[in-house]
Chains A and B, each alone.
Chain A
Amino acid sequence: VPTATRILAAHQLAASLREQADLIRARAQHLGTAGADLRWHSSAASFFRPSLDEAIGRLLRAAAVFDASADEITALALVG
């Protein structure tokens, strides 16, 4: 595979992964904003709030891994 083709393909994949990371982060942000505005019953809040925070945390971690993977794939294409 010519180097230029390989680098282009890797860049395209990396760009797609970063796009997904942005989308996931946007979902997390939306959940965070909506969560802050929610009219919780105190009894339910003690369960749902930490669970929602945990779910948002996982989304943000997933987004970060997508970004890191995109960086690594770009780097691999250059040395490969």
Chain B
Amino acid sequence: MGIKVTGGAGGTRAFLDDLVGMSHLLRTAVATLTQAEHLAELGRLQIGGCSGLDMGPQNHRLDDILAALSGPSSVTRHAATSADALAFLAKFAADAYANTDNGLMHMFTSALSSLPVALVKGGGRLLTTGNPIDAVQQVLTADPELVNLAADASPLPQLVGPASELCDDGYPIVTETGIDDSCPAMTPPRSLNDIVSGLAERNDGASGEISVSFVVASDGSRHAIVDIPGTKSWSPGHTSDITSLATNLRAIQGRPTSYEQGVLDAMSEAGVTSHDDVMLVGHSEGGMVAVDAARDAAVSGQFHVSHVVTAGAPIGKTVGSLPHTVQVLALEDRGDVVPRLDGADNPDRPNITTVSGGPDHGSIGANHNLSGSYLPLARSVDASDNVSVRQFMAGAAGFLDDESMVTERFVITRGY
């Protein structure tokens, strides 16, 4: 299954950073060459003077030697000119790449190029099912960039802020529900597929159920993996379900939520310390909460979140706030509209790798499903030799090469 990868170590931003870095190095070399040339020029001025550089009949030869180091046609000037030109070109190319890469035109072009096929698919669905809702779903899932455009063009982003004020988020109540002694919860992960499988297992649990797993290596070192499922309740009103709309409306803006605080409290209760490397794994709303928790943990210093894996989460507007020390892998099924609800592409940064791919089931729910869409995508990532993907996986090796795993479950509810 083909995947599309943006960002990460092989992404455009990393490349642009490298071009700019190369430009700086070349400019430093030019400065060194210029300094060397000045030294040779100074030597020429001293020939025959009182500084001792008077070699009588050999003065002409001495002048020739130094002229070869400092004149317009000298080897020094040639090297400096060449390095300077390359430095300019690298910087110019970096700026040009950045300008085209950031253009909104890219999104329009991308959306419109898929539109005809999407319309044909939608028309076909309408003819076969007679159901216009199904047909619209088919169009959106066949061209999910339309959701980006719609979100950008609609007043939805402006409404999210006021709407979130109407939904009381309460406070978190964290209840430890015991060690999970099922086989999957005791088997250390070896791949991204295993990581996403663990999240899918947790997602099958009760509303607000999360887990904190310690994976322990043969040398006794340990890492923590926290699984954070997504929305189970769409209620806008008072509800004890921590995954309800109040969390979504806040988390998509990057605002702290009771769900996030509950996750941090559960980690603390499980015994995670600031010395443990932590991977937060979240689906949909859980992915948004994971990003917000990673950011706030970095600010407070309470935990060392080194990795975040999200599946089907709209994190385009929030993930850029993470420090570069947090490595993010965002999985987005190409037909899933949910990660596009914020109307923003994930930023292309060396520490943020976004992978899109997976099957289009023609239905919003199925394309957002962990087992049906994100497990196949995770398997494709495991098989990929993409530079950004491999770099992320190499950095996450500490979470994937352990001997044992203990998983503790918590249920987070909301109180008022």
Contacts and interface: CB of A to CB of B under 8 A. Distances in A.
Given A17-B39, A66-B69, A44 B28 contact: no
Interface string B10-32: 10101100110110011011001
Q: Name the residue in B26, B58, B79 with the highest tally of chain A Cβ atoms < 10 Å from its Cβ.
A: B79
A54 B83 CA distance: 9
B25 A23 contact: no
Given A23-B32, A27-B32, A72-B65, A58 B78 contact: yes
Given A20-B39, A44-B15, A69-B66, A54 B52 contact: no
Interface string A60-80: 011001100100110011011
A34 B75 CA distance: 24
Contacts of B57: 80
A66 B14 CA distance: 36
Interface of A: 1, 5-6, 8-10, 13, 16-17, 20-21, 23-24, 27-28, 30-31, 34-35, 38-41, 44, 48, 51-52, 54-55, 58-59, 61-62, 65-66, 69, 72-73, 76-77, 79-80
B387 interface: yes
A72 B58 CA distance: 11
Given A10-B53, A17-B40, A39 B18 contact: yes
Most chain A beta carbons < 10 A, residue from B25, B66, B83: B83
B15 A41 contact: yes
A61 B75 contact: yes
A8 B68 contact: no
Given A23-B32, A48-B22, A59-B83, 7 more contacts: A1-B54, A13-B53, A17-B40, A27-B25, A44-B93, A48-B93, A72-B65
A17 to B, nearest CB: 7
Contacts of B10: 39
Contacts of B43: 13
Nearest to A34: B25
A27 B54 CA distance: 33
Contacts of B75: 58, 61-62, 65
B9 A58 contact: no
Given A65-B75, A76-B55, A52 B22 contact: yes
B106 interface: no
Interface SS majority for chain B? helix
Given A30-B25, A41-B15, A79 B58 contact: yes
A59 B75 CA distance: 9
17 contacts: A9-B46, A10-B52, A17-B39, A31-B25, A34-B25, A39-B15, A41-B12, A44-B15, A48-B22, A58-B79, A58-B83, A59-B79, A62-B79, A69-B69, A76-B55, A80-B55, A80-B57
Contacts of A6: 52-55
Nearest to A58: B79
Contacts of B56: 80
B25 to A, nearest CB: 5
Nearest to B21: A34
B3 interface: no
Interface in B51-100: 51-58, 61-62, 65-66, 68-69, 75-76, 78-79, 82-83, 86, 89-90, 93
Contacts of A27: 25, 28-29, 32
B9 A39 contact: yes
Nearest to B87: A55
A24 B52 contact: no
| 9 A-B pairs with the lowest CB-CB distances in the bound complex, closest first | A9-B52, A80-B55, A20-B36, A58-B79, A27-B29, A80-B58, A5-B52, A62-B79, A38-B18
Given A58-B83, A69-B68, A35 B22 contact: yes
B86 A52 contact: yes
B387 A76 contact: no
B203 to A, nearest CB: 35
Interface in B359-376: none
A16 B86 CA distance: 28
A31 B26 contact: yes
A24 B29 contact: yes
B154 interface: no
Contacts of A16: 39
Given A17-B39, A39-B387, A9 B61 contact: no
